[in-house]
């Protein structure tokens, strides 16, 4: 006993500069606590960081398992962020008019060296559709829509629809053959909306005397396309929805979704 002696470890240059750095006012103004290696700091790091505080501080062990969540919700969110970032970059290059839309995409392909933003945006969008489907699949298979999470499942279904609509509206923007015909095929369906589409069942019943209320220039498809065919109006409409309307809507719902995951008791698990 008597001959044990505590010797302070020798500090290397690296360690000394680290210690100095973490003592500066700048560092301390950004990070309000020490490294999260003690329980107290683990709590603090999650609580004081706006991004991390989407999480609870502690979570059931089964809930962090990839085996349980497949991380598909998290990946959907991450892909959404990636898409927002790459999408904003694409907006710098793209003008949604018949004159420029296609040539802007051509320019993006040919004049931006090593450019993969368009690829990342397109493949990321496809991937997000898949991850959202798989997320729903996992939530179903673990029965996580059951009380008290019914409402959050519904928020999810709406986000699923929004994800598909985001993908659909974006598909038109390159304004090539692939784009307009895919949207033409898709939006032709609206023509057949019961009562509201001019080739839909019941539409011919909506008439005032001889005047048809529903015709090609005022039916559901017209509202969708801003015209009777996929043209200038549709391009603008889809652009605005794709870049502003739908992302805003889905972002708000994501906030609700994450909030509710926590308020409903965190990731589901057996009682």
Q: Of these, 101, 125, 136, 225, which contacts ligand HEM (CB under 6 A)?
A: 136
Strand (E) or helix (H) holding 250: helix 246-263
What is the C-alpha end-to-end distance of the chain, expressed in Å?
A: 51
d(CA 47, CA 53) in angstroms, rounded, equals: 5
Q: Of these, 118, 121, 149, 221, which contacts ligand HEM (CB under 6 A)?
A: 149
Angle between helices 246-263 and 150-172 (to 10 degrees): 160
For residue 201, what are the CA distances in angstroms to 88, 146, 189, 191, 220?
42, 37, 12, 10, 13
Helix, coil or strand: residue 178: helix
How many CB atoms within 10 Å of residue 125? 21
DSSP, residue by residue, 22-50: HHSHHHHHH--S--TTSHHHHHHHHHH-T
Q: Which one of the spans 25-33, 134-142, 207-215, 245-253 is the region binding other proteins (CB under 8 A)?
A: 134-142
Task: Verify binding: residue 107, other proteins, rule CB under 8 A.
Answer: no
Q: Of these, 121, 237, 242, 257, which contacts ligand HEM (CB under 6 A)?
A: 257
Nearer to ligand HEM, 62 or 184 (CB): 62
The closest alpha carbon to 142, from 4, 50, 32, 270, belongs to 270
Nearer to ligand HEM, 235 or 261 (CB): 261
Q: Report, in Å, the least distance between residue 189 CB and ligand HEM.
A: 22
Nearer to ligand HEM, 73 or 96 (CB): 73
Residues 81-100 that bind other proteins (CB under 8 A): 82
Tokens of 151: 């409402």
Quick one: 127 exposed, middle or buried, by C-beta within 10 A (0-12, 13-18, 19+)?
middle
d(CA 209, CA 220) in angstroms, rounded, equals: 22
Residues 167-186 that bind other proteins (CB under 8 A): 167-168, 171, 174-182, 184-186
Task: Verify binding: residue 83, ligand HEM, rule CB under 6 A.
Answer: no
Residue 207's φ and ψ, nearest 5 degrees, are -145, 145
Task: Verify binding: residue 260, other proteins, rule CB under 8 A.
Answer: no
Tokens of 70: 């497949």
**Partner in contact with 205, chosen from ligand HEM, other proteins, none, beta carbon below 5 to 8 Å by kind:** other proteins
Nearer to other proteins, 16 or 146 (CB): 146
Q: Of these, 16, 24, 59, 112, which contacts other proteins (CB under 8 A)?
A: 59
**Partner in contact with 94, chosen from other proteins, ligand HEM, none, beta carbon below 5 to 8 Å by kind:** none
How many CB atoms within 10 Å of residue 129? 16
**Partner in contact with 169, chosen from ligand HEM, other proteins, none, beta carbon below 5 to 8 Å by kind:** none
Nearer to ligand HEM, 82 or 142 (CB): 142
Task: Verify binding: residue 56, other proteins, rule CB under 8 A.
Answer: yes
Per CB under 6 A, residues contacting ligand HEM are 69, 72-74, 76-77, 80, 132, 135-136, 139, 142, 144-145, 149, 152-153, 156-157, 159-160, 163, 254, 257, 261, 267-268
């Amino acid at each position: 006993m008597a001959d044990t002696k505590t010797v302070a470890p020798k500090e290397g240059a690296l360690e000394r500069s680290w210690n100095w750095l973490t003592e500066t006012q700048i560092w301390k103004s950004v990070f309000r606590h020490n490294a999260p290696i003690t329980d107290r700091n683990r709590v603090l790091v999650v609580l004081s960081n706006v991004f991390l505080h989407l999480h609870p501080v502690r979570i059931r062990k089964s809930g962090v398992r990839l085996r349980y969540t497949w991380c598909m919700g998290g990946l959907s969110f991450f892909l959404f962020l990636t898409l927002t970032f790459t999408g904003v970059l694409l907006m710098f290059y793209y003008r949604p008019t018949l004159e420029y839309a296609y040539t802007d995409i051509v320019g993006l392909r040919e004049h931006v060296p090593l450019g993969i933003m368009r690829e990342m945006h397109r493949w990321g969008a496809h991937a997000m559709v898949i991850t959202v489907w798989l997320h729903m699949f996992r939530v179903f298979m673990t029965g996580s829509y059951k009380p008290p999470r019914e409402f959050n499942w519904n928020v999810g279904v709406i986000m699923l629809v929004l994800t598909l609509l985001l993908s659909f509206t974006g598909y038109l923007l390159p304004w090539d053959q692939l784009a307009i015909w895919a949207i033409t095929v898709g939006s032709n369906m609206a023509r057949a909306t019961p009562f509201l589409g001019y080739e839909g069942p019941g539409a011919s019943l909506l008439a005032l005397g001889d005047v048809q209320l529903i015709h090609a220039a005022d039916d559901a498809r017209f509202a969708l396309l801003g015209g009777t065919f996929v043209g200038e109006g549709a391009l603008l409409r889809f652009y605005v929805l794709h870049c502003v309307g739908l992302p805003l809507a889905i972002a708000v719902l994501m906030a609700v979704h994450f909030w509710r995951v926590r308020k409903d008791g965190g990731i589901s698990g057996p009682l």
